[in-house]
Amino acid sequence: MTPHSHALIDVLKDWRLWPTLNQYQPDECEFVPLEQGLTNENWLITLPNKTKQQFVIRINAKNAKVLNIHHQNEYEIVEGISQLNICPAITYKDANYKYWVRPYISGDTLAEYQNRGLSMTDKLQSVADTLKRAHCQPIQNHWPSVNTFVRTEFFWAQILPNPSMQKDGIEALKHQLDSALQPITHQVALCHMDTNLHNWIVDESGSLHLIDWEYAGLGNPIWDLAVFSDSAKLSQSDDSKLLEFYGKYTLDELELAKQQMEYLSILWFAIQENTHSNTLMCELNNLAIRVK
């Protein structure tokens, strides 16, 4: 094993503290980088035992504060959600939440499932049931409250000071979208907030898991349905089935939630990828055209 990541080399200094893994030496194990993350650095570790146990090291991104991520809250949330077998429990966490280690789920993401040309329709009930169980999880008041207006303002506060931004045109679009996509009164529940297809894994037994809870918080449950629907590019018929399985909400409510989540997503990517002003204006304008 010859890791090429300085971040990985740094966290391996704690190897002796990691349960199960510390029965072996790092150079006895296989390390493979996982590419699916957009922010964090992830490594798959395969142990040299008979069962070839596998774990994931997630080294958290340094820009967590900029992206409004609270890893301590995420850890508490995962501890509860893992009891429902929705995601794996964390094997070891760094005291400062710099990284953690968890079991690897062997299987396919729903993105891979869809890319093979398989229909998402037969997964809708499992998705709805999983989200319902998560949304019924007992909540803690100190977990971050997700208000779409507050979160977009948080992102805008980092975007607008950029000297390259064409402020006149962008601020006009901001005002239009802020007015049209105001949050409405809603049930408060634990929400994942990033239920895109890459975060869903179908394991080898066919069970469905939802991983990566770093954006989770207390919000409107329909947002999780909206992000999933948008990511899966569901038809209106499948949207109706998803809502029927979930047992709540209308198509109009789902459409508004999709627009709210797309607005957040555009701004998130603008920060993460330092989106050019013209590109940002184009994306915001396309959204504004669809907003009623």
Among 17-31, 116-130, 267-281, where is mean pLDDT lowest? 267-281
Higher pLDDT, 276 or 283: 283
Q: Are 268 and 69 in contact (CB under 8 A)?
A: no
The average pLDDT across 30-55 equals: 88
Predicted confidence (pLDDT) per residue in 79-110, tens digit: 999 999 999 999 999 999 999 999 999 999 99
Domain definitions of the chain by residue range = 6-104, 109-290
CA atoms of 254 and 264, how far apart (whole Å): 15
* CATH superfamily of the 109-290 domain: Aminoglycoside phosphotransferase (APH), C-terminal lobe (3.90.1200.10)
Predicted confidence (pLDDT) per residue in 166-187, tens digit: 888 899 999 999 999 988 778 8
Whether the predicted pLDDT of 275 surpasses 70? yes
Q: In this predicted structure, what is the pLDDT of residue 165?
A: 82
Q: In this predicted structure, what is the pLDDT of residue 187?
A: 85
Q: In this predicted structure, what is the pLDDT of residue 38?
A: 66
Judging by beta carbons within 10 Å of its beta carbon (0-12, 13-18, 19+), is residue 163 exposed, middle or buried? Answer: exposed
Whether the predicted pLDDT of 195 surpasses 60? yes
Among 260, 270, 281, CA closest to 67: 270
Q: Are 87 and 169 in contact (CB under 8 A)?
A: no
Q: In this predicted structure, what is the pLDDT of residue 3?
A: 54
Q: In this predicted structure, what is the pLDDT of residue 36?
A: 58
* CATH superfamily of the 6-104 domain: Phosphorylase Kinase; domain 1 (3.30.200.20)
